[in-house]
Amino acid sequence: MIVQSIPILEMRVALTTGDYERLMKFYRDAIGLEPAEQWITEHSHGAMFEMGRAALEIFDEGQAANVDQIEAGRRTSGTVRFALQVPDLGAALERVVSKGAKLVHPPVVTPWGDYNARLEDPDGMQITLFQVMKKGNET
């Protein structure tokens, strides 16, 4: 089926945290994002990080369990999990773990040919970092 017009121009996900500064520091310093916009008042703080292309995946429990088993060895993620493509998984993992991420499972090569690792941000949000592997490239 060819879609003539995509009705969505941008996807945004909002995380609410009890420790704004800690989570800002993690996504800025560990993930390497710079805020595109910030909203600061006397009583509230907010920021937006632009993260390139976005996609929405919808899984039933069976598919979520399959992906968790491949990436983490067991059913572990909640109803929301990020997957972020990085150019160098090893370097990205070293950086995020040194900045407070918890490694849930070390890198694995997936059946679809990516190199994936599962981690949690300081608030417990599960994140898959993945590197697309070239055919014939063993990592």
CATH code, domain carrying 37: 3.10.180.10
Alpha-helix runs per DSSP H in the chain: 20-25, 61-72, 89-98
Structure tokens at 36: 């595109």
Q: 77 by DSSP, 3-state: which?
A: coil
Q: Is residue 2 part of a domain?
A: no
3-state secondary structure of 61: helix
Q: Which amino acid is at 71?
A: E
From first to last of its 139 residues, the chain has per-residue pLDDT tens of: 555 676 777 888 999 999 999 999 999 999 999 999 999 999 999 999 999 889 889 999 999 999 999 999 999 999 999 999 999 999 999 999 999 999 999 999 999 999 999 999 999 999 999 999 976 544 4
Rounded CA separation 126/121 (Å): 7
What is the domain extent for residue 92?
Answer: 20-132
Report the domain count for the chain.
1
Domain membership of residue 28 (yes or no) is yes
- Residues 6+ away with beta carbon under 8 Å from 33: 27, 49, 50, 51
**139/90 Cα distance (integer angstroms):** 10
